[in-house]
Each structure stands twice: as C-alpha cells, then as structure tokens.
Amino acid sequence: MAQERIKLYQGSVNECSYLPNREAINIYADPHHPHPRAVYNQLIKRGFRRSGEFVYKPGCKDCNACVPARIVCDAFRHRRSDRRNLKLNEDLLVQFVPARYTDIYFDLYSRYLEARHPGGGMDQPAPEDFERFLLNPWGETLFVEISLNKRVIGVAVTDATSDGLSAVYTFFDPDFSKRGLGRFSILRQIELCQDMTLPYLYLGYWVDGCEKMQYKTDFNPQEHFNGKDWVTPEG
C-alpha cells in the first residue's frame, strides 16, 4: 500500500515536561486527515506518539533527548523482577476489551489522577476529559482491564496498529500501588502481541536523564527510532 501524504503542524514553545530548564516544541499530525487509521499506522512507525486526540512528535531544534522506543516482542524474555511481578499478581483477572467510557473507569481514573497529579491540571477531570484523553479518533483502542475479585483496579490504554500495540496510558487504584500494575500491564501487552504474532509494543519516548522514563529500559530487546530507521541501541 502506498504511503499517504500527511500535513504536519508546528506547535508553540512550552516548558519541557521531561528535563529541567529546557523548552520543548511538538510537531502535530493533521487531525482532519480523511484516512486517519492508515495515517496513524504510518505515524507510529515514524516515531510519533498519541496523547489524547493529538498525534505528535518532538520538534525541538537543539535537543534529541526524546527517543521513540519499541519492544521486540517475539524475542522478549522475562527478567527475575518480571517473574516476581507476575507471581505477585497471579490472582488478578486480565481482559482485553474495547475502549469506552463507563462510570467505573471514570471513577478509577479520577482517583488515580487525584493521588498521582494533585494540583497538576489533570486532577478533577470531567467525563469529557476522560473521553478526549483516552479514546482514539485515529483508530482502534483496547483497554487492558485488570480486576481483583470482580472489582476493576487498573486499566491500561493501548492502541492497535498494523504491526503491534502502542501503549498510551495506565491508571489504577492508588490502594494497590505496591502491586506494580504499570509494569504488569506492559508484560500483559507484550503477551498479547506474542499471542497475536504482532512484532512490536511501542512504548512512546524514552528520555535519557528523566527518572520517570527509566523503567522503559527494563524491557528488552528494544529498538529505537533515529529519525530514519529503527535500530538496536548501542550498549
């Protein structure tokens, strides 16, 4: 299939949310493209990322710290910490369901934001904020629904693409934070890719020097996008 032309737009300069004392600027894909699903597949393969209704990539002139990363799923092997995490959570039920709004999901999302991002602008969301941020106008999205004794305690949002899944966001009940549900949800997304013979799980951006992004280096083997090709990182 021939690749479609995509209009790109440059955003405004903002404070970098990953590294201190830096400014950031993003490049956005045209949200009104007539074939959004085909375009989305192309964009993910070219290092773009979805945040809510926007599909973007960093366009900073003097910084290349944001590196698109993806896990090569068929070669993935569990580390000892992965096995401990799976053992700890073996009492959980995991279901892959179509993305949708429900009051249960929204309450869980609200509690997570209140605990993790108090006063940060994302807390106290409205239902339309949930839908705008997590549902996907560009294509198909799945919720990795994690339950304990029939109670939903976590949801990982992942987009289906032509060659894998793209992990978007995870939220969970703050009372269960010691279970490592973020890591658990990545492991289960890798497993789903393997079951469906999809080669990659896209992780978004790894940022060297940003502590909250360091967990992404735990999942190997990986490939990083250098602006032209996906390559195995050195070291």
* DSSP annotation string for 131-184: HHHHS-TTS-EEEEEEEETTEEEEEEEEEEETTEEEEEEEEE-GGGGGG-HHHH
CATH-assigned architecture of domain 1-235? 3-Layer(aba) Sandwich (3.40)
Gyration radius of the chain's alpha carbons: 18
Write down the pLDDT at residue 66: 95
CA distance 233 to 75: 15
Provide the CB-side half-sphere exposure for 130 (13 A, CA). Answer: 21
In this predicted structure, what is the pLDDT of residue 125? Answer: 84
Give me 213's structure tokens.
């992004």
CB contact set of 104 (below 8 Å; sequence gap of 6+):
152
What are 131-150's pLDDT values in tens digits? Answer: 999 998 898 999 999 999 99
CA distances from 194 to 87, 222, 225 (A): 20, 15, 22
CA pair distance 76, 21, nearest whole angstrom? 36
What's residue 48's pLDDT? 96
Give me the residues paired with residue 166 across strands.
159, 202
Non-local (6+) Cβ contacts of 185 within 8 A are 144, 146, 154, 156, 167, 170
Global pTM value = 0.92
The reported pLDDT for the residue numbered 36 is 87
Instruction: Kindly give the parts of the chain with pLDDT less than 70.
Output: 1-3, 119-123, 235
Amino acid at 170: T
Q: How far apart are CA 141 and CA 166, in angstroms?
A: 9
Give the separation between CA 63 and CA 233, rounded to whole angstroms: 18
Confirm if 46 and 29 have CB atoms less than 8 A apart.
no
HSE, CB side, 13 Å, CA atoms: give it for residue 178. Answer: 2
Q: Which residue has the tokens 């249960």?
A: 104
